[in-house]
Amino acid sequence: MMKNALLGATLALALCSAKRCEAQGEPHAFPVTAASGNVAAASAVATLPGAPGLTTFISGFEITASGATAAACVNATVTGLVSGNLTYAFCAPAGVTTGAAPLVVNFNPPIPAASVNTPITLTLPSLGAGNVNAAVATHGFQE
């Protein structure tokens, strides 16, 4: 009898884990990340996806780049947020082999998407001619 009860409890736990069950009424958070990869003289875009029945949260992002033929400043934007869009200035120095100062932003507390199943997107516009390295990365979770 005890063996059957233990087997039943193990099976229930396995099914619960497979279905992303909630423990004691608390929702589980599922990590999500996105990155643009390296882009040259083009927009770098990273999107945390939306998911049916879940809200996406952004906990931070990073922007890195090298310089361009001429110095350039652009506005990076984070869209899809409950509080509206956020804008950050990012500058690339003159000189193709010169590194730009990275922009690292952490949100504490994390910021939710505007609604359930809504993606959050970070976009860095092109840094101009001669820029051969630009990348953005975002991280967050869904619950």
Q: Buried (b) or exposed (e) across 104-132, using 16+ Cβ within 10 A?
A: ebeeeeebbbbeeebbbbbbbbbbeebbe
In single-letter form, the type of residue at position 90 comes to F
CA distances from 16 to 6, 22, 24, 45, 66 (A): 15, 8, 12, 35, 47
Contact 42, 95 (CB under 8 A): no
Does the structure show a pLDDT above 90 at 56? yes
Confidence category of residue 27, pLDDT binned at 50, 70, 90 = low
For residue 89, what pLDDT is reported? 98
| CA-wise closest residue to 45 among 83, 80, 76, 86 | 76
CA distances from 100 to 58, 70, 127 (A): 24, 13, 11
Does the structure show a pLDDT above 70 at 5? no
**Rounded average pLDDT over 113-121:** 98
In single-letter form, the type of residue at position 41 comes to A
**Rounded average pLDDT over 93-114:** 97
Per-residue model confidence as pLDDT tens digits over 60-101: 999 999 999 999 999 999 999 999 999 999 999 999 999 999
pTM of the model: 0.81
